[in-house]
Structure 1
Amino acid sequence: MALWPAWRPGATNSRIRFSLFKDEMTRFTAKRLGTKPIIHPGLAQTIGTNINGPSAIRVPDWLKAPLGRYYLYFADHRGDHIRLAHSDRIAGPWQVHEPGALRLEDSGFPTRSSELDPPERLRESVATGDLRPHIASPDVHVDQARRQIVMHYHGLEIDCTQTTRRAVSGNGLEFRDPQPTGADFYARVFEWQGVTYAATLAGWLYRSPDSGQTFTGRTRLGDPATRHVAVFPFGDQLFLVFSRIGDAPERLLISRVLTTGSWRSWRLSDPRELLRAETPWEGAGQPVSPSHTGPADEPVNQLRDPHVLSEGNHLWLFYACAGESGLALAQLNRSGSDRE
């Protein structure tokens, strides 16, 4: 995945819409829960050592015989299935459901490298196996009206582009009917004022004409260096949590989304730092250096892949720690407001 040619860490770009707000903006702090990752390779051999892309739901009351009160979906950067853990408490302990939730062969994406037709620049990566069929970055939601669980996830197309598909489930364990959505990869789907949107890699914002089944038009909302994002509403405000490829260290930032006017004119407040690696299990003992695209197969000083679960008056922040070495949990707390 190439960044915009004009972008480099620390650079500015006139097409990136950051803004100073003239009204009050709620501020948040993140408080870690526990003294270790909630998901780590030691929980089960089936999840491997590359762990990223958390997405959690509170299991709906209509779901029969659930494994637990909470389901946590996650991935391997080059994985052949979407992982799943469950717990009766948000802070854990979490238990891995070893069969997982969605397998590559049921995803609608190619399953073998021989099916791929890569462009010249990617042929070597396919030949070496660095780029191969996979599914990852689950984004899971409860559709109360239809009594189904909806998963958005990304994979590799025949031409080696990466896109987002959508599948549904009646129990949160087996997903069916995978369909293309038209959105770029690393999609986080959210609803705002009755309309469904998706925020993706590289700062793209998509709008859906059909409640999240497909995404058509798009506009650049955030920094082209944006990796994963989380989007959540708080009162009448909308917030974006994200990390950026190239930051040293890569860490979690937060901006408010100013949603006045057309969605194509939305813009972000100047980002504030929300959380960085401060413990050994988050990678704080590793050297500080600019992050890169692609997987992190060894512990690094990076926090990635935020996901926010809103539950009543609580906001839970899940994130990948030490690059892609595990998943951790924090609570977002309002710390007042200020005038930008």
Structure 2
Amino acid sequence: MTQHQNTGNGPALPGRRVFLRGAVAGTAAAAGLGMSGAWAGSAAAAPGGFPDYRHLKPLLTPSQLKYNPTGEIIFPCIRGVYDRLSSPLGRYYLYYAPHDAPGGICLAYGDSLEGPFTEYPANPLVTNDWQPHYKVSHVSSPHVLWNEDVRELWLYFHGENHTTRLARSKDGITFTYDRTVLTKDMLPAGTNETSYARVFRHDLPARGARYVMLFMVNNQSNHRDIGWGWSADGRVWSFAQQPLIRHSDVGVNNLSGPHLLTRGGSAYVVYHTGKENGGNMLISEVGNDFSRRAHLGVFYDSGSAAPENGRAASPSFGTDRGVPYMVYEAGERLAGSLAVARA
């Protein structure tokens, strides 16, 4: 399973479709899509040839979990560990968290991306009180990166909403605190949220970087955008002072949950909108050097029926035995489940 790339070219199936909308003709031509008009339906026209995902089933529901302090969970991160850890609990580790206080970084494990997943009995792995490093109201939004250089699982998580931290683990269960990697003070004055970060192995030679971070950024306007940064080692970061993708670029109120995908020699960012703007996942092409801005429209169209109820968010991608999957939040924010979609 890849960390930052969705592999596989599964057949197009009925269900959720990938659409391109609002793309000018020049953007479509530059993307090699050869289309015209405002819409181009079906997976065959998906930017970069990404699979067409369809909802399969819920994987984790708060009411079925032993550790369930607030009745909600968010922000799944799926990682294949069968070829990386010596004695894993399962082939796949699924990290997640409640958001509201006290939160807590949690783990479930299973042998298939279609489930079932078993809750780790000693959750949470990381709490909101980790002395002497911090004591905060909550910790949440776990993103775990396999760092091949040191053969460790690196956990990026937030707490409070304006601070992102790093912890490291040899087994994916016991973590050692490393450092703070992002705060609001690293961005322009007035920034008040820098959270929901995901980190990817992605070379930016011109910046001397081997890792890219994507995250949600908010300020006094209370409209959330996608920010980004770069790092040589995944620990010490530089951050762009302007958003990578603005809410106004795609005509919505808020953006969050960004994930990097690469294919066909280019890089793309998938992210979600608020339910008031359709609750769908959108996609923008940023190019391998992050200099491109091609906003290509709807990547995944959330269904109106349960469990999605008009909102799909915070995707994490993986491949299981050659089949691409997407694990994501399904349902209203803080009132849904973690679900899986299959190509």
TM-score for the superposition, normalised by structure 1: 0.72
Counterpart Cα distance in 2 of 1:108 and 1:251: 40
Structure 1 unmatched runs, 5+: 1-17, 113-132, 284-300, 333-340
Counterpart Cα distance in 2 of 1:21 and 1:200: 29
Residue 256 of structure 1 deviates from its aligned partner by 2.2
Counterpart Cα distance in 2 of 1:61 and 1:28: 25
Counterpart Cα distance in 2 of 1:56 and 1:206: 22
2:147 corresponds in structure 1 to 143
2:168 corresponds in structure 1 to 168
- Where do 1:125-140 residues align within 5 Å? 133-140=137-144
Corresponding residue SS for 2:164: strand
Contact 1:108 1:178 in 2 (8 A): no
- Where do 1:1-340 residues align within 5 Å? 22-24=30-32, 25-32=47-54, 34=56, 36-48=57-69, 49-78=71-100, 79-100=102-123, 101-106=125-130, 110-111=134-135, 133-156=137-160, 162-182=162-182, 184-193=194-203, 195-201=210-216, 202-208=225-231, 210-218=232-240, 219-224=242-247, 225-245=254-274, 247-259=276-288, 263=290, 265-283=291-309, 301-310=310-319, 313-323=322-332, 324=334, 325-332=336-343
Residue 108 of structure 1 deviates from its aligned partner by 6.8
Residue 228 of structure 1 deviates from its aligned partner by 1.0
Spell out, residue by residue over 1:277-300, the C-alpha distance to the aligned partner (whole angstroms, 9 max, x if none). Answer: 2432212xxxxxxxxxxxxxxxxx
Structure 2 unmatched runs, 5+: 1-25, 33-46, 184-193, 205-209, 217-224, 248-253
Counterpart Cα distance in 1 of 2:78 and 2:287: 26
Spell out, residue by residue over 1:30-83, the C-alpha distance to the aligned partner (whole angstroms, 9 max, x if none). Answer: 43353x311112432313521110001001434232111100000111243111
Corresponding residue SS for 1:258: coil
Residue 246 of structure 1 deviates from its aligned partner by 6.2
Cα 1:244–1:72 change in 2 (3 A) is same
Counterpart Cα distance in 1 of 2:273 and 2:59: 23
Residue 196 of structure 1 deviates from its aligned partner by 1.0
Spell out, residue by residue over 1:78-103, the C-alpha distance to the aligned partner (whole angstroms, 9 max, x if none). Answer: 24311111001110111101322222
Counterpart Cα distance in 1 of 2:156 and 2:284: 24
Counterpart Cα distance in 2 of 1:21 and 1:176: 48
Cα 1:318–1:252 change in 2 (3 A) is same
Corresponding residue SS for 1:281: coil
Cα 1:220–1:52 change in 2 (3 A) is same
Q: Percent identity?
A: 23
**Higher mean C-alpha deviation, range 231-240 or range 173-182:** 231-240
**Higher mean C-alpha deviation, range 82-91 or range 215-224:** 215-224
User: What amino acid maps onto 2:229 in structure 1?
Assistant: Y
Cα 1:311–1:87 change in 2 (3 A) is closer
Contact 1:33 1:91 in 2 (8 A): no
Corresponding residue SS for 1:47: coil
Contact 1:181 1:214 in 2 (8 A): yes
Counterpart Cα distance in 1 of 2:287 and 2:264: 13
Counterpart Cα distance in 1 of 2:237 and 2:327: 26
TM-score for the superposition, normalised by structure 2: 0.71
Spell out, residue by residue over 1:125-179, the C-alpha distance to the aligned partner (whole angstroms, 9 max, x if none). Answer: xxxxxxxx111111101122312110100111xxxx6111111001101111231
Corresponding residue SS for 1:26: helix
| Alignment length (residue pairs) | 269
Counterpart Cα distance in 1 of 2:285 and 2:141: 23
Counterpart Cα distance in 2 of 1:193 and 1:105: 35
Counterpart Cα distance in 2 of 1:107 and 1:238: 39
Cα 1:108–1:31 change in 2 (3 A) is farther
Contact 1:277 1:322 in 2 (8 A): no
RMSD: 2.5
Corresponding residue SS for 1:228: strand
Contact 1:137 1:186 in 2 (8 A): yes
